[in-house]
């Protein structure tokens, strides 16, 4: 993903403008609202060249990594990003098998699995 798109996303969602040099910021996961710390470096030509967000990843909503528009971007913490991709795998499997979410068993009442040591 292009750094210009990441910068535009951050500026749009955080309602800030980044200046030349190193800029530290606080963002939030778009799913669980977890606080995320990051930094962005802006060159003298006003171009972003290093964007780092601790424990987070940018995600393409439509799953197409070529679609680099701000409206298609989301910032998720690692946990939510992993779960979004897991849910995508489940949705594709349901589609391939002709099933729906209602066909899945209700697992809320299941007890956690325990393993015996031998």
Encode the chain (118 residues) as per-residue pLDDT tens digits.
789 999 999 999 888 899 999 999 999 999 999 999 999 999 999 999 999 999 999 999 888 889 999 999 999 999 999 999 898 888 888 889 998 878 877 767 767 666 666 6
Helix then strand then coil, % of the chain, to nearest 5: 30, 25, 40
Are 21 and 8 contacting, i.e. CB atoms less than 8 angstroms apart? no
pTM: predicted TM-score of the whole model, two decimal places? 0.76
Q: What angle do CA 98, 61, 79 make, to 5 degrees?
A: 90
């Amino acid at each position: 993903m292009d750094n210009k798109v990441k910068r535009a996303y951050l500026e749009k969602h955080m309602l800030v403008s980044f200046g030349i040099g190193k800029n530290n910021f606080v963002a939030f996961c778009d799913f669980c609202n977890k606080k995320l710390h990051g930094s962005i470096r802006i060159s003298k030509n006003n171009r972003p060249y290093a964007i780092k967000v601790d424990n987070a990843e940018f995600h393409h909503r439509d799953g197409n990594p070529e679609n680099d528009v701000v409206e298609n971007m989301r910032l998720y913490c690692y946990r939510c990003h992993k779960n979004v991709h897991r849910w995508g795998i489940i949705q594709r499997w349901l589609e391939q098998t002709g099933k729906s979410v209602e066909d899945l068993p209700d697992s809320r009442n299941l007890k956690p699995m325990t393993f015996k040591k031998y």
